[in-house]
Structure 1
Amino acid sequence: MTPDALATTVSEEWGRLTALLLARYRRLDLVEDALGDAVEAAARTWPTDGVPDRPAAWLHTTASRRILDRLRTEATAQRAEPLLVVESARREGGRVMADPGALVEDDVLRLVLMCTHPSLAPEAASALALRLVLGVPTPDIARLFLVPEPTMAARITRAKKKIVAADIPFGVPDASVLPDRLDSVAQTAYLAFTAGYSPGTGTDLLRAELSGQTIGLVRVVLALRPSEPVLMALLALMLFQHSRRDARVRDGRLVLLSDQDRTLWHHDEIAEAQRLVDAEVLRGPITVQAAAYALQARIAAEHALATSSAATDWERVVGLYYVLLDVAPTPSARLARSVAVAEARGPAAGLAALEGIEIASTHRLAAVRAELLARSGDLDAARAAYDQAIAACLNDVERAHLVAQRDAR
């Protein structure tokens, strides 16, 4: 129970705890280290002392003490006036009021807005927000950006140093900053949802709490920017995908879309997503980013509204993917189109569609090739491709599925 309690607290409260500590101490370099120390302390003491009544408060108090210890050490070393600024800020409420008007009150959104400051490159901003705000592991972030893990770790470190060096404030921003940062916030939310919906590492096939938290963040932003196309399209896409969460795993094993129990899908979320994607605002001129999310949502709708996998209009799905690739020609979209082509026109057509696709840091390309080779009857090549996918797969549930598929050939 204790490891589960700690893991749940970290996944649900990391962003809020980071926000609270930053609001009080304004030291990004200390906050992340202190929270990490607090989690390590909890892992040592909770098994013997028991889980505290308020686990998040325990982590906050422990991290706060670590930060104060560091600040006292720094103050002594520098012969500075210890903690006067910090204590003054705490007595004044620990926040810098940017504007007394339309303020952003959500702690997690405030932290995302800090990470997506214009002084940071968009990719670095999103990566930092994923790591700092939502606690997504660095290997998973690297997979989302299709770069090696050391490259991503260095990118995140540089972003943190830039925030500290540029003295980017953690305050209560005016809602007027949202338009300039909206694309970065949406991209961060999209990547965070993907990290929850399809984790690249670990023991879980999905992290529903992370996906749900990200949906909540998008709802907060949408409340501040009603009828914003990029947010409406993104929320629709997330709801379509998230609606299947209870059917994707059975007895710890991956359940393919074609085998899922559709009575377990959350049809209220599907209905809400359909209303969003059908909104008039998404039928007029919109940004490339909004169009990409809207097209992905419409593809997800084809699966969500079909009575079975066999009833899915795969040719329509293929057509939507071709439009998506005109808008956002990513390797991941090309790979997904190849799967749809195989369903619509057979494995040989799917294998042909795979030609020329290169995706680093993921097992998915090899896994798709293995399945299509098996369907086409080339079992030796299929087993070799499965071996390649298994070697590259860092998610335990997906790896077990791939091993079972290989061994069944």
Structure 2
Amino acid sequence: MSDAELARVVREEWGRLIALLLARFRRLDLVEDALADAVEVAAHRWRADGVPDNPAAWLNTAASRRVLDRLRAEAMQQRRAPLLVTDSEHRQSRAGAMADTGDLVEDDVLRLVLMCTHPALAPEAASALALRLVLGVSTPDVARLFLVPESTMAARITRAKKKIVAAGIPFAVPGAGLLPERVDTVAQTAYLAFTAGYAPGSGPDLLRAGLAGEALRLVRVVLAQRPRESVLIALLALMLLQHSRRDARVGAEGALVQLADQNRAMWHAPEIAEALGLLRSFGPTPALTLQGAAYLIQAQIAAEHATADTAAVTRWDRIVRRYDALLQLTPSPAAQLARAVAVAESEGPAAGLDALDDVHMPASHRPAAVRGELLARLGRTDAARAALEEAVGQCRNESEATHLRKRLTELG
């Protein structure tokens, strides 16, 4: 159980630990390597000694010692050991309470996100770095979110980290006057983090509710400072509607429960009500950026599900039209795939298969999974099995792979 517990702690606490260490030492080039070293040591130590009472604190202490070791080594090389060690100890005593150049919130995770989304970094690189460094999303899963090879994403993240160190970008919340230029990138980062929590690309869990909830919290924190920021309002509505279904999406032993089979009484009504109120605040012709309009349309699609009494009465025709509008604004393979599913529900599985022909997502198992399901509905069992077997081969999420294998079994 020590390996499983370590994996859980790393998954859930990585971003917070990075933020704590960075608040103390202000050395991004040392902090991440030190924490990775601490995890490696824990993998061996915990097998022999058992899991400590406070695993996250154990990792924090081990990583801190490694940073201090590196600082002392640097001090010796530069013949300034007393000065640097004294400065490091002074930082520790203050434990992240160093003077802030900004005038906003005291939130270490947000500080780290804002550091990663500095205008010196390209938006895609900034979001990728924040996902990996702050929110603990694995590099392969970040690559899947951006639909690029893992090696490409690893290189992009490495370059972004080096640029932060070289440019001396501060670990601080910017002043209120500088925040607007980072809002769009922060929103995109939160959106991708929520997606990684809502539908993890790999690992044992169907849903990482903690990650999704943290992404939602970050949007609320920034929105508290920019209450009229329409892109954040639209994104919050979308997140609330999707997050409201979290308990109903997971069945016994972590099994996937599809939308049509979910117990709607388990959906979180207060979150749905809040989201619908946010959507009403936009009015019939809202003035939005392209990014904000995309979030709003996705929220309106989620609202169609939230306001339907059952899956059978969902207005799939309206959902198809909303996906058409979304694809005109921001074309993406994920939206094309979702539209194909909506077409299948509205017009039948044959029409859904036709719509699926235009979807190209080489790194994802989901197009093959949808194709297998639609072929099964048409009674084309052999072709359905072939598609589902392809999906199983591509799937890196254990819960989804188990669901796909179950469907294969059901097909005989």
**TM-score class, shorter:** over 0.9
Residues 103 and 173 in structure 2, CA contact (< 8 A), matched pair in contact too:
no
Q: TM-score, normalised by structure 2?
A: 0.93
Residues 282 and 294 in structure 1, CA contact (< 8 A), matched pair in contact too:
no
Spell out the pairing of 1:338-357 with structure 2 (5 A cutoff): 338-357=340-359
Residues 104 and 173 in structure 1, CA contact (< 8 A), matched pair in contact too:
no
Is 1:326 matched with 2:313?
no
2:35 partner letter: L
Q: Which residue of 1 aligns with 2:270?
A: 268
Is 1:31 matched with 2:41?
no
Spell out the pairing of 1:129-140 with structure 2 (5 A cutoff): 129-140=130-141
Q: Which moved more, 1:367-376 or 1:127-136?
A: 367-376
Residues 294 and 329 in structure 2, CA contact (< 8 A), matched pair in contact too:
yes
Q: Which residue of 2 aligns with 1:285?
A: 287
Give the whole-Å Cα distance in 2 for the aligned partners of 1:94 and 1:263. Answer: 43
TM-superposed deviation, 1:263: 1.2
Deviations 1:226-283 (A, max 9, x none): 1211111111111111111111121221111001111111111111111111113784
Give the whole-Å Cα distance in 2 for the aligned partners of 1:392 and 1:9. Answer: 27
Residues 223 and 229 in structure 2, CA contact (< 8 A), matched pair in contact too:
yes
Deviations 1:99-134 (A, max 9, x none): 3x6233111111000001111111110000000001
Q: Which residue of 2 aligns with 1:17?
A: 17
Unmatched 5+ residue regions in structure 2?
Answer: none
TM-superposed deviation, 1:173: 2.7
TM-superposed deviation, 1:165: 1.5
Q: Which residue of 2 aligns with 1:112?
A: 113
TM-superposed deviation, 1:369: 1.3
Q: Which moved more, 1:141-150 or 1:367-376?
A: 367-376
Q: Which residue of 2 aligns with 1:83?
A: 85
Give the whole-Å Cα distance in 1 for the aligned partners of 2:10 and 2:214. Answer: 13
Unmatched 5+ residue regions in structure 1?
Answer: none
Spell out the pairing of 1:27-66 with structure 2 (5 A cutoff): 27-46=27-46, 49=49, 51-66=51-66
TM-superposed deviation, 1:70: 1.3
Secondary structure of residue in 1 paired with 2:312: coil
Q: Which residue of 1 aligns with 2:169?
A: 168
Give the whole-Å Cα distance in 2 for the aligned partners of 1:300 and 1:241. Answer: 7
Q: TM-score, normalised by structure 1?
A: 0.94
Q: Which moved more, 1:12-21 or 1:350-359?
A: 12-21
Percent sequence identity is 64
- Classify 1:50/1:355 alpha carbon distance in 2 versus 1 (closer, same or farther; 3 Å): closer
Aligned length: 408
TM-superposed deviation, 1:79: 3.3
Q: Which moved more, 1:229-238 or 1:45-54?
A: 45-54
TM-superposed deviation, 1:6: 4.1
Q: Which residue of 2 aligns with 1:255?
A: 257
Give the whole-Å Cα distance in 1 for the aligned partners of 2:404 and 2:86. Answer: 58
Give the whole-Å Cα distance in 2 for the aligned partners of 1:176 and 1:90. Answer: 30
Give the whole-Å Cα distance in 2 for the aligned partners of 1:149 and 1:379. Answer: 34
- Classify 1:383/1:161 alpha carbon distance in 2 versus 1 (closer, same or farther; 3 Å): same
Q: Which moved more, 1:170-179 or 1:107-116?
A: 170-179
Residues 97 and 172 in structure 1, CA contact (< 8 A), matched pair in contact too:
no
Give the whole-Å Cα distance in 2 for the aligned partners of 1:96 and 1:319. Answer: 51
Q: Which residue of 1 aligns with 2:205?
A: 204
1:403 partner letter: R
- Classify 1:402/1:94 alpha carbon distance in 2 versus 1 (closer, same or farther; 3 Å): closer
Q: Which residue of 2 aligns with 1:73?
A: 73
2:329 partner letter: V
Residues 98 and 174 in structure 1, CA contact (< 8 A), matched pair in contact too:
no
TM-superposed deviation, 1:325: 1.0
Q: Which residue of 2 aligns with 1:241?
A: 242
- Classify 1:70/1:386 alpha carbon distance in 2 versus 1 (closer, same or farther; 3 Å): same
Q: Which moved more, 1:8-17 or 1:33-42?
A: 8-17
2:312 equivalent among 305, 310, 313: 310
Secondary structure of residue in 1 paired with 2:353: helix
TM-superposed deviation, 1:307: 1.0
Q: Which moved more, 1:106-115 or 1:69-78?
A: 69-78
2:378 equivalent among 353, 356, 376: 376
Spell out the pairing of 1:381-400 with structure 2 (5 A cutoff): 381-400=383-402
Give the whole-Å Cα distance in 1 for the aligned partners of 2:176 and 2:326. Answer: 31
TM-superposed deviation, 1:67: 0.5
Secondary structure of residue in 1 paired with 2:207: coil
2:226 partner letter: R
1:86 partner letter: S
